[in-house]
Amino acid sequence: MKAQRILERLYTWLTYRPVYHGLFWLALLGLLFWTDYAPGMDWWFVLSNELISVVFFAVLVYFNLLYLIPRYLAQHALLYLGLVLAACAVVTPIRVLVLYLKFSGQPEWQQALVDAQLNLYAGSVLVTLTSTVLRVITDWWRYQQEKQILQTQTIQSELRFLKSQINPHFLFNTLNNLYALTLKKSDKAPEIVLKLSEIMRYMLYDCNERQVPLEREVQYIHNYLDLERLRQPKGADIQFVTEGHISDQMIAPLIFVPFLENSFKHGLNHHTRGGGYVRLRLKAEGKQLEFFIENSKPQPPLPPGNTSGGIGLTNVRQRLDLLYPEKYTLDIQDDPDRYAVLLRMTLE
């Protein structure tokens, strides 16, 4: 834990702009010194030469980063490249002149400097374009970080939204039925209170985690269905079957809730005479999970804009894309008298 904190602090420090810019220039200075220094040479003479070169490189790099890239790279790539070459053509002779004056009294160094002008120009272009590549990479990395933060915030906001989706009618009807049972002194009343408290506890506390045990999610569905059986008319067919082992898998919380709520909100709740159904099946084989739910549609059909399954499916697809990218398939059948959803997932 302590080592992890140290690494996190080091990472934060390294991503501070003055730090990684400073490290870049130190690395470049070290590379230039290592390239030009030879045994027997005056190390300060070589280091001072490289410091001058680094100053001119910095002029080119920051002119590139602060002006050329923002104004020209994305919109006019060829013009941008031409301006980079032109800027290097202007700055490199000035650098050569400064070094030439520094080498006064050393004609052999001055002559070597004049002969190396083309190489110095190529080095200026290389360093400037390297800064472009690094800028593109850091911008891409920063974009990915911001995207990840946005995805996390989206997941959290959608989870908060799902938590708020305890249907008021469902809650009030459950409480009314509970009140009726208490008046009758029914033995079912304590059980209903327990199931309702488990639902509230799960949604308010347990779901704060990124993943929860699958068996808790299954228990939530059982409690939800038990309370729905209490408030649905007689004759309603509500079934939930589980297959396989569900004791050691983890899953994103409330992933099935939109399907579950839609099956009642747009299906069974509109069967005023009974006879409707909601049937669920959950099958687990290791990390492979299959969730199937179907519900009957009321006859005559609901008016347009109030059709089965329309609420929340866009959100649930987005949530699945964020949490299980390329690890799920979602098939929906919307028949005149039946609505069915088949979700296959590969858990982490």
Q: What is the CATH number of the domain that holds 272?
A: 3.30.565.10
Does a structural domain hold residue 159? no
Establish if 158 belongs to a structural domain. Answer: no
Q: Which of 55-59, 210-214, 266-270, 337-341 has the lowest mean pLDDT?
A: 266-270
Determine which helix (DSSP H) or strand (DSSP E) holds 75, and give its type and residue range.
none
Is 202 in the same domain as 59? no
**Is 308 within the bounds of a domain?**
yes
Q: Comparing 151-160, 203-212, 219-228, which segment has the lowest mean pLDDT?
A: 151-160
Choose one of 100, 122, 153: the last residue of a domain: 153
Residues 181 and 146 in one domain: no
Higher-confidence position of 230 and 120: 120
Which H or E run includes 329?
strand 328-335
Q: 313 or 111, which is more confident?
A: 111
Asked if 51 and 200 sit in the same domain, the reply is no
In this structure, which amino acid lies at residue 216? R
The segment with the largest mean pLDDT, out of 62-66, 106-110, 112-116, 244-248, is: 62-66
Same domain as 144, residue 229: no
Q: What is the pLDDT of residue 307?
A: 46
- Note whether residue 25 is domain-resident: yes
Assess whether 219 and 141 both reside in one domain.
no
Give the integer Cα–Cα distance in Å for 137 and 143: 10
Q: Which of 121, 153, 185 is the last residue of a domain?
A: 153
**Are 188 and 68 in the same domain?**
no
**pLDDT average, residue stretch 310-328:** 77
Whether residues 189 and 268 share a domain: the answer is: yes
Q: Is the dihedral of CA 94, 96, 102, 105 positive or negative?
A: negative
Structural domain including 195 reads 165-346
Residue 164 has pLDDT above 80, yes or no: no
- The CA distance from 242 to 286, in Å, is 14
**Residue 252, in any domain of the structure:** yes
Q: Choose between 115 and 282: higher pLDDT.
A: 282
Tokens at residue 198, please? Answer: 């488990």
Question: Residue 285 belongs to what H/E stretch?
Answer: strand 277-285
Q: Which residue has the tokens 């050691």?
A: 248
Residues 40 and 82 in one domain: yes
pLDDT digits (tens, 9 = 90+) for 170-186: 567 667 767 777 776 77
Q: Which of 258, 303, 306, 269 is nearest to 170 (CA)?
A: 269
User: Is the domain of 311 the same as that of 172?
Assistant: yes
Using DSSP's 3-state secondary structure scheme, residue 48 falls into helix
How many domains in the chain? 2
Question: In the chain, pLDDT over 70 holds for what percent of residues?
Answer: 84
- In whole angstroms, give the CA distance from residue 61 to residue 68: 10
Q: Does 264 reside within a domain?
A: yes
Query: Which of residues 91, 118, 153 is at a domain's end?
Result: 153
Residue with tokens 């490199």: 92
Model pLDDT for residues 259-285, shown as the tens digit of each residue: 888 888 776 766 556 568 899 999 999
Q: 66 and 196: one domain?
A: no
* 13-27, 232-246, 280-294: the lowest-pLDDT one: 13-27
DSSP per position, 182-230: HHTT-THHHHHHHHHHHHHHHHHTGGGSS-EEHHHHHHHHHHHHHHHHH
pLDDT at 199: 79
- The pLDDT value given to residue 311: 45
Distance of CA 167 to the CA centre of its chain: 29
Are 255 and 142 within one domain?
Answer: no
Paired with 338 in beta bridges are 296, 335
Cα–Cα distance measured from residue 209 to residue 136, given in angstroms and rounded to the nearest whole number: 35
pLDDT in tens, 118-148: 999 998 999 999 989 988 888 888 888 887 7
Is pLDDT above 50 for 117?
A: yes
62 domain-assigned: yes
H-assigned helices in the chain? 2-14, 17-36, 43-63, 77-102, 107-115, 117-163, 168-183, 188-204, 214-231, 257-265, 313-323
- CB neighbour burial string for 63-100, b if at least 16 within 10 angstroms, e if fewer: bbbeebbeebbeeeeeebbebbeebbeebbeebbeebe
pTM for the complete prediction?
A: 0.55
Between residues 83 and 298, which one has the greater pLDDT?
83
Answer yes or no: is 287 within a domain.
yes
Who's near 79: CB < 8 A, 6+ residues apart? 72
Residue 33 and residue 72 share a domain: yes
| β-bridge partners, 240 | 280
